[in-house]
Amino acid sequence: MVSEKREVNNLSQLTQILVERLEKKEMEPGLIPGFIRDLANTVLVNPHISHFQANKQLHFLGWDDVELDYHTLQLAIAYFEAEGLDTSQSKPDRFPEITSRLHKSSAKVN
């Protein structure tokens, strides 16, 4: 039970840091879940992708305003692994922790 609680706390910390990094890159909070989905799909296709290759693919998908750095990519990969990223999941809200974190952040602003 303690291990499970620690894992949830680590996932929450990963989520918070990832969202904050993307917001610092001036990404609108409402766009973050879509960006994360596209990044996850990019990583699924090539798990050993470099941040240069990831940026090229994300730009191809229309994310021209975002320049992913190495550390943010590694953080995202750690988040995907903690979430148990599964290629068989095709539901739109594949990352409920991100969506939940964004809803909490927007509620604080309002």
Structure tokens at 53: 């290759």
Q: Which amino acid is at 25?
A: K
- Structure pTM? 0.73
Distances (CA, A) of 29 to 13, 92, 103: 17, 16, 9
Question: If you compute the radius of gyration of the chain from its CA atoms, what whole number of angstroms results?
Answer: 14
Q: What are phi and psi of 66, to 5 degrees?
A: -110, 130
Per-residue pLDDT tens digits for 22-74? 999 999 999 999 999 999 999 999 989 999 999 999 999 999 998 999 999 99
Looking at residue 54, what is its pLDDT? 96
Question: Which has more pLDDT, 2 or 101?
Answer: 101
- Residue 109's CB is within 10 A of a number of other CB atoms, namely 6
Mean pLDDT in residue range 91-107: 57
